[in-house]
Structure 1
């Protein structure tokens, strides 16, 4: 006999093979834990049975209006119960969820609705004014559903054909939805926040959403009934897949319309929040909040950070609050986080500076992502694990997008050589952990020497007065480019440009020291990422300093 014996008469069938989908998570939680709390939003407190019934109503109501397999349903919503429900109700009928960035301009939003061919859009009243302008530019009929969240106390009129709760009332709470026939089917559409040209539409599949949701649990050792606070926008990479993760654990979605320190600390205490995610700006806001707001947190809180590496001061401040920080890395194209920096037991005996250095690395692949590697971009061969040789970080595995919607050329280029090209440059250490050195476009070349903007930023973050910092290239007649630092100081801080320059001189080679420093509020995206492309424009007019 040959290996064929393991294929003969052993075919896939309905009994031994089903498509993976995160939609099964809510079905199970509603069946096993029907009376467990699922959603908290102000005075609203709903169980998993109630939430599941609402998602089925949503699926039923959309189906009755002619929306089905392959249709795009867009949502312009903050982190409210309707946003949680959309992550299940929309794909239950084979439709594709397109979560819109609530801070974008009208022209970009109109492009997304047209490019994605949205057949319906849900609009929170807070965004009705801009969406009225957007809808005037939509090129096809579109169902507009108003979401009148009782927690919103601002202005804004209804602009739709029907209000969300009325839409749900028209649906069937026992609607018999069908899982996807193929786990490769699209589940969501997320647009990149590109800095030039139109954004690209990143398409996720059910298999990837399922595997990343499970990986989130594994990386965090997330227990049953975890209480998750929505500090991270659900429009960003589908909230890093956490709507599906929370459902898998029959946890609690603590919704949050607006990220404010007082509200966050109040909810941490009142709901006994166990987990939250965010960009560095969110964690910095919390550790720098007034002491009276932080008082009374007497339980462990697990925090996840992505973006800039967490500096020692941030890690130390979070530890004093009783928060444990996990550093993750990813991009929209890999469902949010797809790499993590697991902390080793022996790190606990190290001083805070060394622990921060180790924890600043992007680490290793998520459990259910096949690999994240650093390859030479020309040869596509691995770089030496010496912590010095720079290559490009690349991903491969199930937690990787299907591709870019209607953009085969960009898709082919992104997947060149059988890997997803992140555009981030980094190194591999002897222990196998990866660290980003910079984005390829953010390397500063000064007098022929490469300067990592991240390295300079890391040093500036060590200064006790610095809240946030971004370093970009400033044109220089002699050197070609030199580092220019844009700095946001903590409240009440008094550091001067000279102070920061002196601090850098103590920790960096001379050619890496910024020759210009400007104090300002840093421009940021809706997810808290610093917009370096805006700072590059400003750098041309910032005066240099004699260093």
Structure 2
């Protein structure tokens, strides 16, 4: 694969910034200059940023003024290891002035633009398979995975995402998905294609969401389920009546079905999608069928929570036995691994031939997610392969337990992992955060689950605490597994 020689033939340009106008502009400026764009997670610390800068060999890094200390720490670490640090371009306050303490930066963003050459000719890619960006997954510090996107893949996924989200001309899009995550699900480029207005948010809060929708008459937005949960559980004083239905895409983890109902009560139209960094963000979409409108509410919500079918830019998605590579029957019961193939699947992992070969073993990209296929061809995610709890020889899909937990009136957030057990091997352990004003104990929650699930699936342990999440809203279950393992007997 070509991607393993990228560091020799392409210049990498990194950016460490939230959803600000400069971040959006750089999605065009960097590829137009013939370089590869490398967006970094704004929640990384200096150590991780230094590791990713070293791995990508970025020559320039654009840094938002609020993240300058993190960048400086990363550059210091690079120098201590004998690695030449990249040149820094500071993204200052909106007026272009530099904040105190920024004198060590090489350039300031707006000044750099003001001194640009107006006659510069765009450097077109030599091939549509040339890389346009590298997006790092949330891996460990010892083995970062840089997912390589091609110009062709980004183009096709952009068009497919616009189509499946029903984004017509002149949309007004509210940026609640981080632009560093899968290049904003490729909608950074998509908004420009449709002549859209971009409403940027540095920090996502329910009040800011409602205020921006009201002020700018937002038509579309997207977000992880945690954003939806934030909206439906917001204070009444922070809400505003929507000027019209606002279409919102959600993905990243299957949201509890009741979240869909509450969002629609507030005036949002919610659609479900599924994908990974390796599929440029959206890969499948729950295309709504008119006959589902007549179903009872519970059944409607179950249909809406499915991950659906592949979008038009993807060749194929299937649920397969990971050993035999045979497709599982479309019975809605047999669990297999979700696998993809097509032009909107990554070119490979930067400088990591083995990880790439493992990911494409058998000729399909292996997602690591487990799902079933229904008789109509729609897929439904059940769990990550590593998140399945095996108790007494029985498989427990943690997402099913979490869905029941979310139905408890006192629970705001919930996540389930396996806790080691000498007799059963593992038992389900629930971590929950309660809504304000509620006071329930562990036994109340366990009893609630036993009333709605087979007893072997009900949590045996309940821990009350905030859930650790990454920057895209996914619960970091590896942290919870370690906590469950450390619980006293």
* TM-score range relative to shorter protein: over 0.9
Among 301, 304, 327, the alignment partner of 2:249 is: 304
CA displacement at 1:472 relative to structure 2: 0.1
Distance 1:152 1:335, change over 3 A: farther
Please give the alpha-carbon distance, in whole angstroms, between the structure 1 residues aligned to 2:53 and 2:297: 47
Among 148, 151, 154, the alignment partner of 2:92 is: 148
Residue 132, structure 1, aligned to residue 72, structure 2: yes
Question: CA contact under 8 A between 1:518 and 1:542: conserved in structure 2?
Answer: no
CA displacement at 1:141 relative to structure 2: 4.5
Aligned residue for 2:255, secondary structure, equals coil
Distance 1:187 1:524, change over 3 A: same
Please give the alpha-carbon distance, in whole angstroms, between the structure 2 residues aligned to 1:153 and 1:529: 36
CA displacement at 1:531 relative to structure 2: 0.4
Aligned residue for 1:127, secondary structure, equals helix
Please give the alpha-carbon distance, in whole angstroms, between the structure 2 residues aligned to 1:378 and 1:239: 34
Among 377, 380, 384, the alignment partner of 2:325 is: 380
Aligned residue for 1:379, secondary structure, equals coil
Partner of 2:46: 106
Please give the alpha-carbon distance, in whole angstroms, between the structure 2 residues aligned to 1:325 and 1:333: 24
Question: CA contact under 8 A between 1:334 and 1:399: conserved in structure 2?
Answer: yes
CA displacement at 1:298 relative to structure 2: 2.6
Partner of 2:311: 366
Partner of 1:117: 57
TM-score relative to the length of structure 2: 0.94
CA displacement at 1:108 relative to structure 2: 1.4
**Superimposed CA distance per residue, residues 84-135 of structure 1 (whole angstroms, 9 cap, x where no aligned partner):** 0110000002100000001112221111101101000001111111111101
Partner of 2:12: 72
Distance 1:487 1:543, change over 3 A: farther
Question: CA contact under 8 A between 1:310 and 1:359: conserved in structure 2?
Answer: no
**Superimposed CA distance per residue, residues 19-77 of structure 1 (whole angstroms, 9 cap, x where no aligned partner):** xxxxxxxxxxxxxxxxxxxxxxxxxxxxxxxxxxxxxxxxxxxxxxxx99710000001
**Superimposed CA distance per residue, residues 355-398 of structure 1 (whole angstroms, 9 cap, x where no aligned partner):** 22112221111111111110111111101111111111001011
Aligned residue for 1:75, secondary structure, equals strand
Partner of 1:49: none
Among 215, 218, 223, the alignment partner of 1:278 is: 223
Residue 91, structure 1, aligned to residue 31, structure 2: yes
Greater Cα shift, 132-141 or 213-222 = 132-141
Distance 1:495 1:443, change over 3 A: same
CA displacement at 1:157 relative to structure 2: 3.2
CA displacement at 1:465 relative to structure 2: 2.1
Partner of 2:4: none
Q: How many residues align?
A: 478
Please give the alpha-carbon distance, in whole angstroms, between the structure 2 residues aligned to 1:88 and 1:283: 29
Aligned residue for 1:484, secondary structure, equals strand
Unaligned runs of 5+ in 2: 1-6
Partner of 2:354: 409
Among 117, 123, 132, the alignment partner of 1:187 is: 132
Q: CA RMSD in A?
A: 1.9
Aligned residue for 1:175, secondary structure, equals coil
Among 455, 473, 476, the alignment partner of 1:510 is: 455
CA displacement at 1:192 relative to structure 2: 0.7
Aligned residue for 2:415, secondary structure, equals strand
Question: CA contact under 8 A between 1:313 and 1:462: conserved in structure 2?
Answer: yes
**Superimposed CA distance per residue, residues 278-302 of structure 1 (whole angstroms, 9 cap, x where no aligned partner):** 1111111111112232222131100
Partner of 1:218: 163
Residue 262, structure 1, aligned to residue 207, structure 2: yes
Among 305, 319, 322, the alignment partner of 2:267 is: 322
Question: CA contact under 8 A between 2:96 and 2:110: conserved in structure 1?
Answer: no
Greater Cα shift, 135-144 or 71-80 = 135-144
**Superimposed CA distance per residue, residues 254-275 of structure 1 (whole angstroms, 9 cap, x where no aligned partner):** 0111111111111000000111
Residue 343, structure 1, aligned to residue 288, structure 2: yes
Distance 1:419 1:152, change over 3 A: farther
Please give the alpha-carbon distance, in whole angstroms, between the structure 2 residues aligned to 1:375 and 1:196: 31
Distance 1:279 1:162, change over 3 A: same
Aligned residue for 1:118, secondary structure, equals coil
Please give the alpha-carbon distance, in whole angstroms, between the structure 1 residues aligned to 2:294 and 2:69: 54
**Superimposed CA distance per residue, residues 116-160 of structure 1 (whole angstroms, 9 cap, x where no aligned partner):** 010000011111111111011331242110110338999763241
Question: CA contact under 8 A between 2:432 and 2:465: conserved in structure 1?
Answer: yes
Please give the alpha-carbon distance, in whole angstroms, between the structure 2 residues aligned to 1:296 and 1:151: 32
TM-score relative to the length of structure 1: 0.85
Partner of 2:378: 433
Please give the alpha-carbon distance, in whole angstroms, between the structure 2 residues aligned to 1:323 and 1:336: 22
Unaligned runs of 5+ in 1: 1-66
Please give the alpha-carbon distance, in whole angstroms, between the structure 2 residues aligned to 1:151 and 1:501: 55
CA displacement at 1:468 relative to structure 2: 1.4
Alignment of 1:371-520 (within 5 A): 371-520=316-465
- Bigger Rg over Cα: 1
Partner of 2:3: none
Greater Cα shift, 302-311 or 192-201 = 192-201
Aligned residue for 2:116, secondary structure, equals coil
Greater Cα shift, 195-204 or 89-98 = 195-204
Please give the alpha-carbon distance, in whole angstroms, between the structure 2 residues aligned to 1:363 and 1:88: 31
Partner of 2:234: 289
Distance 1:281 1:228, change over 3 A: same
Aligned residue for 2:452, secondary structure, equals coil
Greater Cα shift, 130-139 or 142-151 = 142-151
Could you list the structure 1 runs, at least 4 aligned residues long, displaced by more than 3 angstroms after superposition: 151-157, 541-544
